[in-house]
Amino acid sequence: MALKINHNLVNEEIAKTLVDICPFKAIEYHDNKLSINAGCKNCKICVKKGPAGVIELVKEEIKTINKNEWKNIVIYADIEENKVHPVTYELIGKAKELAQVINHQVHVLAIGHNLTQTVDKILHYGVDKVFIYDHEKLEHFDVERYTNIFEDFINKNKPSSILFGATNIGRSLAPRVAARFKTGLTADCTALEMKENTDLVQIRPAFGGNIMAQIINPNHRPQFCTARYKVFNAPEKTINPTGEIINCPIEDKWLKTNVEILEIINKKKEEDISESEIIIAIGRGVKSKEDFDLVFELAELLNASIGCTRPVAEAGLLNNKHQIGLSGKTVKPKLIITLGVSGAIQFTSGMKDAECIIAVNNDPAAQIFDIAHFAVFGDIYEIVPELIKIIKEGKSNV
């Protein structure tokens, strides 16, 4: 569909109306000529709301494809040093739902080295097939080599949809492969649905989450998307997996690369709390430095970083690089648990945009509860040890 201007209907007044109506300033009127510039986002508001008939939609011929030739949903197994990123299992869970709608199978593509055990784990999540490309030169992620492997896989198997975790690897690999097949890619999806015609409905946030967009890829296959970690649910594990393992041959020419890895270092826990995904913030309710051990233990269990209020930093209990608020760091974690924080504006202005705020304070009138999503009216000295206890119990049961 393209926009066409019927220039014979344009006069100055109509031109002005149209220029004003475009939210993207994409309609221009110069030297008595109305034109649409590159800012056009095809929102069609000029067609719907503009003077009738001046700008029209012209249908264009679209190359269609035979969607029946493309079958099954593939999950790219996000593997680093033979550890499967949990987003992989979550995607398997979602893919099983999606596949049911169109009666497709769920397949997994695993690329790496010495994958036997790793793949065995994946099989327990109940997939139909796991395709393995195993080679010592594939031990670490290499975008060129992995893209070549992916190309071979797609050419041989013609999958309908391919889902990646929106991890740093997924966000590097998915666009490369999608571009190689000149097909669409939707990044960072937070919801997925399947149409009966096998079109994958992909919903993703834009503008920092202020807007959601629903996107389809109707005339190209495969359909590519990356999806966020922790939005879908992993399926129950099966005890007797029935999935099939398919070892795929590798050609040397696929293994050419321009990247030479020098060193891989384990990341230290985020030093900079403004980058942390989970933060536990200590307020004045935590009375002495000795009590911090309790908080540190909880932080360890949740893999959280430690933040604090200004009074805590000023009392020298924690270094001021942990300080959150107006005169400290601004943080936007996925989760912040505040312990004994009263919630002075000095503090809250540095963390109120956190996605989930859990506040624990024994004063129900504390200001922190005004912005908390979960307000725990209780004594941190009772709740934190209890929480640590049951988290540990839970972990030892697994």
Q: Which residue has 């939609």 as its token pair?
A: 57
Q: Output 95 or 243, the one with its CB closest to another protein.
A: 95
Residue (239 or 365) nearer to another protein, CB: 365
Minimum distance from residue 42 beta carbon to another protein (Å): 4
- Please, is 227 exposed, middle or buried when counting C-beta atoms within 10 Å of its C-beta (0-12, 13-18, 19+)? buried
Span interacting with another protein, options 99-107, 123-131, 206-214, 289-297, rule CB under 8 A: 206-214
Closest approach, Cβ 128 to another protein, in A, equals 26
Residue 47 within binding range of another protein, rule CB under 8 A: no
Q: How many binding residues for another protein (CB under 8 A)? A: 112
Looking at residues 85 to 144 of the shown chain, list those that interact with another protein (rule: CB under 8 A).
85, 141, 143-144
Among positions 307-326, residues that touch another protein (CB under 8 A) are 311, 320-321, 326
**Interface of this chain with another protein, residues 51 to 80, rule: CB under 8 A:** 60, 80
Please, what is the minimum distance in Å from the beta carbon of residue 196 to another protein?
16
Nearest to another protein of 101, 212 (CB atom): 212
Q: Is 255 helix (H, G, I), strand (E, B) or coil?
A: helix
Tell me which amino acid residue 235 is: P
Q: Is 394 in the site for another protein (CB under 8 A)?
A: yes
Q: Minimum CB separation from another protein for residue 294, in Å?
A: 13
Tokens 């012209």: give the residue.
58
Q: Over the Cα atoms of the chain, what is R_g?
A: 27
- End-to-end Cα separation, the chain, in angstroms: 54
Q: Among 36, 2, 38, which Cα is nearest to 19's?
A: 36
- The set of residues, in sequence order, having a beta carbon less than 8 Å from that of 242 and lying 6+ positions away, is none
Closer CB to another protein, 68 or 258, in the complex: 258
Separation CA 166–CA 276 (nearest Å): 17
CB 4, min distance to another protein, A: 11
Window 224-263: contact mask with another protein (x via CB under 8 A): ------x--------------------------xxxxxxx
User: Do 143 and 173 touch, CB atoms closer than 8 A?
Assistant: yes
Alpha-carbon distance 76 to 97, whole Å? 17
